[in-house]
Structure 1
Amino acid sequence: MRVSYRPTAALALAINAAICAASIWPAIVEASAEARVYEIPPSPLSEALARFADQAGVTLTFDTSLTQGRMSSGLVGAYTVESGFSALLAQSGLQAAEQSNGVTILRAGEEGAVTLGITQIEGAAYGAFEPPAAYDGGQVATGARVGMLGNKSIMDTPFSITSYTAQHMENQQANTVASVLRSDASVRIRTSEGHTQENFMIRGFRVDSADLAIDGLFGLAPDGHVPTEFLERVEVLKGPGAMLTGMPPAGGVGGVINLVPKRALDTPLTRLTTSFVSDSYVAEHLDISRRFGAEERFGIRFNGVSGDGETGVDDQSKERALWSLAADYRGDGWRLGVDGYENRERTDDGSPIMIGFTNIGTVPRAPDPSTNLLKGVYVKQENSMVKLRGEYDFTDHWTGFASIGSARTRYDGYLRGTALRLSNVNGDGFGDTINQKGYSDSLSSEFGLRGHFETGSVTHQLVMVSTRLHQEIGRAPAVRSARYPTNLYHPSTPTLAGPVGAQEKAEDNTLTSFAIADTLGFFDEKLLVTVGVRSQRVEQAMSTPSRYDEKKVTPAVALLVKPWDAPVSLYANYIEGLSQGESIGDIRAPNYGEQFAPHQTRQIEAGVKWDLGAFTHTVSVFELENTSVVQDPLTLRYSDDGEQANRGVEWSMFGALTPSLRVLGGVTYTRAVLEKSAGGLFDENTARGVPKWNANLSAEWDVAGVSGLTLSTLVMHSSSQYLDSANNLKAPKFTRYDLGIRYGMSIYERDVTLRASLENVENRAYWAGSFNEGFASIGQPRTLKVSATIDF
């Protein structure tokens, strides 16, 4: 039986739960203004400090290297801010010092320590400019940005969210966001690995590369794929998030991927990494961080990358250059920061390809993943961005914040449409190439107010925010080559499309929104109820296919309960996603050119989070429903009456099983069902590109008796998946293995880390995912990565 959920019902459920809890739970004695009661269990020191700062309402920032490997016995009893930090840091040789700007920093030794006052910066438990501390093991963080709600502890977040750290990216030698998210069982890449476009599936629904956000702002991330060298965090919020973040420009609803750029550390850093990737690609990466002034209020972080050489695809070469700069200033009651990057890439003599099977009705074996089916093609991509952000504390309880950024994208070459359509199971088929050229210019902004207050015994964390994203997109008419015969396993030389003409403006889109949300805390915030709503406006100013101005309201309600003294959180949420309505581009259709209204995705989710101190589990169940466009087979008219319902269970875990063994991964089960298809033809079929089972497990083991030596592995598994709505084409299951080793040492008082990894150890040929109807993408070839990092 299928159950439909409405926002009003979900809101009533949450309110009733809060009332019931109020009637049966005993009142908890409120802490005095001078001291509060804390119950922080034994845990890694970084985790204990983050929890204490969160509950005390102070902004804490520190270099995680200071707390690496340190444990805390916890904190139980009544403490002031000063005495609480003193107790947590006893015997550690570390001290907490409050700066004149209200930010508390962690430093070694007693010199320079000052008495702490109670400085509250509400709504951002770890500070809006500082990401939450790393969890034990350093692979993920203790918290993440939850859209307009700001940075929140994972245990206080009524959604499923994971934040991957820069340390994890470096140790995995992950050079793009897609390679970072290999560790997440809820995420799969839809395009071939190494393709110039990295598009994802989260919980069985698409999230395109254009839907990635930077510091919560859409439209600013590099187009195609995102390099990781300038990133401090890659945060994944699973499920739709229109109320939390606003509508993504490409309409992705499966989740939200937010990128946090690197910023200046509290300790100086000069780090050089030299890397080699098979076949002959070599890159240099320079990372420099400094803070200046007597109180180190001004900081600068620079990252620069230059790389060139051949890739793992036969005869393909790649050249790239990246620079990024972040500057920030910590004033008295205000903070200001500027971020910018420029990323240039050129790929020559080849591109990963997607294979179509509709003409043969079956899925043959995958080719050797290093096979180059598109020799001679090239792609040039240029991306740049600059962003200004700031905060001002009106009082200890109210903070205003604003961000504005501009991004520019240019591309030229055979970027999309790299496809081969098979004619028989022997791999014969026909291909063509498409030459393209285009641009996009984006201006994105966010303005808001965040505050904390109390009504009786109920606490409130109120947030109001307004966003605007304007994008102008232009392109030249694509030029397609003549079809040419080739073979999947023994490719011929492709026919290249001719030159493109002049570019013309094709889209002029503006997305504006206003949102308000309140998190109500009951019983010393052991019960948290979040209620919010966002009004979204979508405007398309071009007359072709049609002018467009629509509004939608997307609500959300979430409940989080901490019923025991043990660090366990029970949560549930109802939240909606929002996608821009599709434009009908089929010239055969009677309603060719029609633009549908924005459509909403609805999710209901419930789960439990259990923090064992150094190891955390999350188990959740969810249901997502999304509108889809269907065509009437008789009239050929399109409508937006179709639906897809994904129901699933997720288990994720991370942390340290022992001091020398760290694990990260999870398992997901998803049942993706088509409903209300045209004429009921595909009703109850499985949606394409959604395996029922996905599993990922990575592990790191510090070898006993050899200081600094660590072995690692990553296992990825996906069950079989359909490639078409009719369920006639099925790609088989696959399992892939990666192995790694690293060794950290000191040479002439310089920290040096050597890393090596072998990805897809067996060079397994497999179909990785589905991008378009009847098409599959090819997995990554065996790839050797070697790097050496030295800190000066």
Structure 2
Amino acid sequence: MSPLPRFAKTRAVRLAIFGLTLTGLPGLALLPATAQAQSQAAYEIAPGPLGNALTQFGVQAGVTISFDTEQARHLSSAGLKGSYTVEDGLARLLANSGLRAERQGNGGYVLVPVSRGTAVVLGATNISGQILGETTEGTGSYTTGSMSTGTKLPTSMRETPQSVTVVTRQRMDDQNMQSLEDISTYTPGLSLRKTGGERPQFYSRGTAINNILIDGLPIAYDTDTLGTSTLAMFDRVEVVRGASGLMVGAGNPSGTLNLIRKRPTVEPQVSVTVGAGSWNNYRTEIDASSALNASGSIRGRAVASFTDKDSFTDSYSSKRQLLYGISEFDLSEATTLTLGAYYNREDNPGADWSGIPTRADGSFLPISRSTRMSPKWTYWNKKNQSVFAEIEHRFDNDWKLRLNTTWLRGDMDMLGTSFYRLDANADQLNLNVGRYTYEHTQKSVDGYVSGPFTLFGATHELVLGASYRTDKTDDGPGGGFLNDPLIVLDPANFNYHGIGKPAIDYNWSRTGKVDQTSTYATVRFNLRDDLKLILGSRLDWYEYEQSTVSGPYQFGAEYKATREYTPYAGLIYDLNDTYSVYASWTRIFQPQENRNFSGSLLAPVTGTNYEAGVKAEYFGGALNASLAYFQLNQENLASPLAACAPGVNSCYEASGEVQTKGVDLELQGMLAQGWQASVGYTYAGAKNVKEGSGRFDSDTPYNLFKASTTYRLRGDLEKWTVGGSFRTQGSAYTSFGVAQGGYSIFDLMTGYDVSKNLKVQGNLNNVFDKLYYQSISNPAGANIFGDPRNVAVTLRWSL
């Protein structure tokens, strides 16, 4: 019998299918349905959205629960703690919801309105779907049931034909993740580099991630002005590795991070979090959500987070402030308007402009990790302000229209020092000072329609949309002071207290602008019940210009790409109810300002991603696994020419080609009741095809392995949760002679439920106090120490 199309009923049905096939885990088995319903089991389900609570209950109880999406759309549950039978547990979860659970002949349950004696007609045994929804908050899970970052289609991880990871709210809390730097540190396949204390850059498959998404809208990732300590307002981070041109248009073939905001709830919920840790690290966070009128048609949520901490580096501290608010308005049963804003500020007195230098030959200095290499009057401050709006209309035929827009302004004010060498072979360093102010303003708007259609007797899904993005930069005034007379420093004996604050000559400013207009389409063909084909295409019109406003430096680069075509193709074949194989092919482009012999712009650099693999869903989707082989080709990279036409200062030819081959292996989700884990291994080896088989982008380690897990103890110790993480990476070296061998880091965590509403958690990071550089660069600087051993204690109260 052919199951109902998975997305044809998206608006009408949200399922939790929890029949677990546990024969693959030794010592675990399901009870017969009758005995299961009468036996008691211990449950630990936090208050939150009703759908999420039912999801967790079904996973832990091993039962099938079917319910109508619209019934549970704005309902919350008080949660469940203690030992209950299945029916008693369901009754408590559904208390005051207006719903009750009716047991079916197959052992599953269907939700029935209390005021009616008939069940919702759903045919629970004939519908397939994910056990988890999109929202991860309150699920306790390390995976999700649906994501849309790869193709804009809401698909499960198994149905997404690329390597994907979802960092859920539960995992962020367990590992005490506070920033995007933490996300990149602990997410499989990602690595972190820094060109200064406050300039993190994320890498995937050997290239930098230069675009991120916020609720699906592309944002240019700017290391100078964009604050990254904003995780308190997000439900999850969806990560796609490889080219993601269908979602972002222009960029590198590395991947993207999609930051999904927290949403309001109908039932009141409040949480207060306080934390304290090494180096005077203090944090307070308040998160409150509720309906704002009696009917629940207006809902709101507010998040405030404040952090004040020092650093293991002398005289380096930071203050973080985040204020986030969001409201939802049901204009009708079919139309929802969302309005929101956030303000983020990061003040960093004592911040490095660059980092730690080495000797001239690239060898590391024999110095302590606390050694300061910049004067105490330096700073790097960022301020971000954003407002956003969304409107979604759901048609009766399961189609929907969605319009999403955002405005984001990032400001930077910095005063810093960096090093340089007049003599590349001498160990003496010269000091450079500069002060700069940047203002970057981004605006994005995206609109699309999506829904099912019928062709050749089958139901398929279609997305049609268009977007526009502009990014304006107003940099300056700014300027530097090259010491006159020159200050020559011995890096092994540098006294930062002795450097006086100089006067700055504000001698330059510049402006720039990016305009990008796009149209796109994605279609998912259900060729058979077990065979799906995803096709996508995107057209982009991209223009960039930059010009000098004042000063001796000449800024005047401009380039564009017209009707740049980005294709996407993915094929997924279900081997059975658990395993699927897939293959995908997609591209992305990056315009460049380099010019050819005669002065004309070179064609954009293109990145093509080929990928094939196998994916699996266990326990109804509570555990996801994947194994992939990928190949990434970058073409049209600029290679310099020895001579140019008259009037052309520098010229290149588009002849460079880099090929990256590798494998991705990942497991994320529930291994058993109370046991969550995320494990991933990535090998990505890059070489310059035109220049032989030598290693390309050696700054990035070729081998990455990362594992994180938590386990809730049983019996008399059920109030305790224990866990930890382990990450290891291979060697890396730069073209400047700076090299670092592979290293491994261990972290531990434990949590204790003081009461139903209060939990205390401890995190011990870098347990063995490994000395390592988090990123390496050149002998003059931008070599950044990793954090020494540190501890954090967190108390979280929730209602």
TM range (shorter): 0.7 to 0.9
What residue in structure 1 maps to residue 287 of structure 2?
Answer: 287
Q: Is it true that 1:267 corresponds to 2:273 in the alignment?
A: no
- Structure 1 residues 371 and 741, CA gap change in structure 2 (3 angstroms): farther
What residue in structure 1 maps to residue 277 of structure 2?
Answer: 277
How far apart in 2 are the matches of 1:90 and 1:259? 37
Superposition RMSD in Å: 4.0
Summarize the alignment of residues 674-689 of structure 1 with structure 2, pairs less than 5 Å apart.
Answer: 674-676=688-690, 680=691, 684-689=694-699
How far apart in 1 are the matches of 2:110 and 2:444? 37
How far apart in 2 are the matches of 1:576 and 1:366? 46
What residue in structure 2 maps to residue 512 of structure 1?
Answer: 517
Q: Is the 8 A contact 1:581 1:599 kept in 2?
A: yes
Q: Is the 8 A contact 2:16 2:131 kept in 1?
A: no
Aligned residues: 710
- Structure 1 residues 722 and 410, CA gap change in structure 2 (3 angstroms): same
What residue in structure 2 maps to residue 19 of structure 1?
Answer: none
What residue in structure 2 maps to residue 8 of structure 1?
Answer: none
What residue in structure 2 maps to residue 619 of structure 1?
Answer: 627
Q: Is the 8 A contact 2:49 2:265 kept in 1?
A: no
How far apart in 2 are the matches of 1:361 and 1:328? 59
Q: 1:647 is matched with which residue: 648, 661, 679?
A: 661
How far apart in 1 are the matches of 2:176 and 2:427? 34
Summarize the alignment of residues 544-583 of structure 1 with structure 2, pairs less than 5 Å apart.
Answer: 544-551=555-562, 552-564=564-576, 566-582=577-593
What residue in structure 1 maps to residue 535 of structure 2?
Answer: 531
- Structure 1 residues 28 and 268, CA gap change in structure 2 (3 angstroms): closer
For structure 1, which segment, 480-489 or 379-388, has the greater mean C-alpha deviation from structure 2 after superposition? Answer: 480-489
Q: Counterpart of 2:324 in structure 1: which amino acid? A: S
TM-aligned CA deviation for residue 237 of structure 1: 0.8
TM-aligned CA deviation for residue 258 of structure 1: 0.7
How far apart in 2 are the matches of 1:730 and 1:648? 22
How far apart in 2 are the matches of 1:214 and 1:615? 26
How far apart in 1 are the matches of 2:517 and 2:575? 39
TM-aligned CA deviation for residue 344 of structure 1: 1.0
How far apart in 2 are the matches of 1:115 and 1:784? 52
Q: Is the 8 A contact 1:722 1:731 kept in 2?
A: yes
Q: Is the 8 A contact 2:197 2:784 kept in 1?
A: no
Gaps of at least 5 residues in structure 1 are 1-26, 46-59, 100-105, 120-124
> Larger Rg: 1 or 2?
2
Q: 1:205 is matched with which residue: 200, 207, 220?
A: 207
For structure 1, which segment, 627-636 or 691-700, has the greater mean C-alpha deviation from structure 2 after superposition? Answer: 627-636
The one-character-per-residue Cα deviations of 1:336-373 (angstroms, maximum 9, x if unpaired) are 1112100111111233743566x834443685433322
Q: What is the SS of the residue equivalent to 2:409?
A: strand
Q: Is the 8 A contact 1:353 1:373 kept in 2?
A: no
How far apart in 2 are the matches of 1:713 and 1:156? 30
Q: What is the SS of the residue equivalent to 2:183?
A: helix
- Structure 1 residues 30 and 649, CA gap change in structure 2 (3 angstroms): closer
- Structure 1 residues 232 and 181, CA gap change in structure 2 (3 angstroms): same
What residue in structure 2 maps to residue 297 of structure 1?
Answer: 297
Summarize the alignment of residues 742-753 of structure 1 with structure 2, pairs less than 5 Å apart.
Answer: 742-746=751-755, 751-753=757-759
Q: Counterpart of 1:255 in structure 2: which amino acid? A: G
Summarize the alignment of residues 218-233 of structure 1 with structure 2, pairs less than 5 Å apart.
Answer: 218-219=218-219, 223-233=226-236
TM-aligned CA deviation for residue 224 of structure 1: 4.0
Q: What is the SS of the residue equivalent to 2:717?
A: coil
- Structure 1 residues 245 and 696, CA gap change in structure 2 (3 angstroms): same
TM-aligned CA deviation for residue 425 of structure 1: 11
TM-aligned CA deviation for residue 220 of structure 1: 7.8
Summarize the alignment of residues 325-474 of structure 1 with structure 2, pairs less than 5 Å apart.
Answer: 325-330=325-330, 331-351=332-352, 353-355=354-356, 360-364=360-364, 367-376=367-376, 377-414=378-415, 418=418, 429-474=429-474
How far apart in 1 are the matches of 2:320 and 2:4? 57
The one-character-per-residue Cα deviations of 1:164-188 (angstroms, maximum 9, x if unpaired) are 1122212211110121233222000
Q: 2:19 is matched with which residue: 39, 42, 64?
A: 42
- Structure 1 residues 738 and 348, CA gap change in structure 2 (3 angstroms): same
TM-aligned CA deviation for residue 633 of structure 1: 6.3
Q: What is the SS of the residue equivalent to 1:335?
A: strand
- Structure 1 residues 466 and 127, CA gap change in structure 2 (3 angstroms): farther
Q: Is the 8 A contact 2:110 2:119 kept in 1?
A: no
Q: Counterpart of 1:696 in structure 2: which amino acid? A: K
Q: Percent identity of the aligned residues?
A: 19
- Structure 1 residues 144 and 657, CA gap change in structure 2 (3 angstroms): same
Q: Is the 8 A contact 2:143 2:623 kept in 1?
A: no
Q: 2:794 is matched with which residue: 783, 787, 790?
A: 787
What residue in structure 2 maps to residue 196 of structure 1?
Answer: 198
Q: Counterpart of 1:549 in structure 2: which amino acid? A: K
How far apart in 1 are the matches of 2:131 and 2:556? 45
How far apart in 2 are the matches of 1:418 and 1:115? 70
TM-aligned CA deviation for residue 198 of structure 1: 2.0
TM-aligned CA deviation for residue 503 of structure 1: 7.5
How far apart in 1 are the matches of 2:463 and 2:677? 36
How far apart in 1 are the matches of 2:68 and 2:723? 40
How far apart in 2 are the matches of 1:230 and 1:531? 33
Gaps of at least 5 residues in structure 2 are 23-47, 73-85, 100-108, 124-128, 548-554, 645-649
Q: Counterpart of 1:320 in structure 2: which amino acid? A: R
- Structure 1 residues 572 and 716, CA gap change in structure 2 (3 angstroms): same
Q: Is the 8 A contact 1:141 1:162 kept in 2?
A: no
TM-aligned CA deviation for residue 138 of structure 1: 1.5
Q: What is the SS of the residue equivalent to 1:229?
A: helix
How far apart in 2 are the matches of 1:163 and 1:317? 31
- Structure 1 residues 539 and 421, CA gap change in structure 2 (3 angstroms): same
What residue in structure 2 maps to residue 501 of structure 1?
Answer: 506
Q: Counterpart of 2:522 in structure 1: which amino acid? A: A
Q: Is the 8 A contact 2:594 2:652 kept in 1?
A: no
How far apart in 2 are the matches of 1:214 and 1:448? 16
Q: Is the 8 A contact 1:474 1:506 kept in 2?
A: yes
How far apart in 2 are the matches of 1:555 and 1:63? 36
What residue in structure 2 maps to residue 691 of structure 1?
Answer: 701
